[in-house]
Amino acid sequence: MSSTDLKPGIDPNTMSIIVTKGTLDWAYPPFILATTAAAMGLEVTMFFTFYGLTLLKKDLDLEISSLGNPAMKMPMMGMHMGMPNIVSAIPGVDAAATAMMKNLIKKKGVASIPELRELAVEADVRLIACQMTLDLFEYSKDDMIEGIEIGGAATYIEVATQSHINLFI
């Protein structure tokens, strides 16, 4: 028996993801992983907390910003270009960057976040909203899509103790 063997009783085909970010770019990793894992037969739970909570809103209005993101260099005019931080401070620039990103996503045949979220719901991925974050940012359950659960840290920890793969995104 090697040290990498599972603790007895944990089903290897289980995964949990703590989702902490709510920008358009960061919405992709958790939803892609969750939907793909579900398609491959895993039982998946997503726990949305802090800025991740916004990914459960009925009206998704995700944005990106190049501010403080030196790795964001977009294909433009035949090369990859970044934007100086000071430019992101100009009103309208983040909106333009978001529009450009959405265009690129559509052009490349990448799924939209609403589409991926719908696929997650269809695949019975368990979606849990952090109660504390709802209170903190003064959101109500009605702001969120149907079919989600509400829970706190202990709810997540219980899921994690029974999950083989636990990710923090």
Partner 1 sequence: MADQVLDAKGLNCPLPILKAKKALKSLESGQVLEVLSTDPGSVADFSAFCRTTGNELVEQNEADGVYTYLIRKTA
Which two structure tokens, joined as six digits, stand for 135? Answer: 């209170």
Residues 116-145, mask of contacts with partner 1 (x by CB under 8 A)? ---x--------------------------
How far apart (Å, rounded) are the C-alpha atoms in residues 45 and 39?
14
DSSP structural state of residue 58 = S
Single residue of 35, 66, 98, 163 touching partner 1 by CB under 8 A: 35
How far apart (Å, rounded) are the C-alpha atoms in residues 2 and 125?
31
Single residue of 8, 41, 78, 92 touching partner 1 by CB under 8 A: 41
Q: Is 124 exposed, middle or buried (0-12, 13-18, 19+ CB in 10 A)?
A: exposed
Span interacting with partner 1, options 35-43, 52-60, 66-74, 91-99, rule CB under 8 A: 35-43
Say whether residue 39 binds partner 1 (CB under 8 A): yes
How far apart (Å, rounded) are the C-alpha atoms in residues 153 and 168?
13
Residues 75-114, mask of contacts with partner 1 (x by CB under 8 A)? ---------------------------------xxxx---
Number of residues that bind partner 1 (CB under 8 A): 11
Report in angstroms how near the CB of residue 164 gets to partner 1 at its nearest: 13
Q: 10 vs 39, which CB is nearer to partner 1?
A: 39
How far apart (Å, rounded) are the C-alpha atoms in residues 15 and 29?
14
Q: 38 vs 129, which CB is nearer to partner 1?
A: 38
Phi, psi dihedral angles at 130 (to 5 degrees)? -75, 120
Say whether residue 14 binds partner 1 (CB under 8 A): no
Q: 118 vs 143, which CB is nearer to partner 1?
A: 118
Give yes or no for a contact between 164 and 44, defined as CB atoms under 8 angstroms apart.
Answer: no
How far apart (Å, rounded) are the C-alpha atoms in residues 110 and 162?
32
Give residues in contact with partner 1 (CB under 8 A): 32, 35-36, 39-41, 108-111, 119
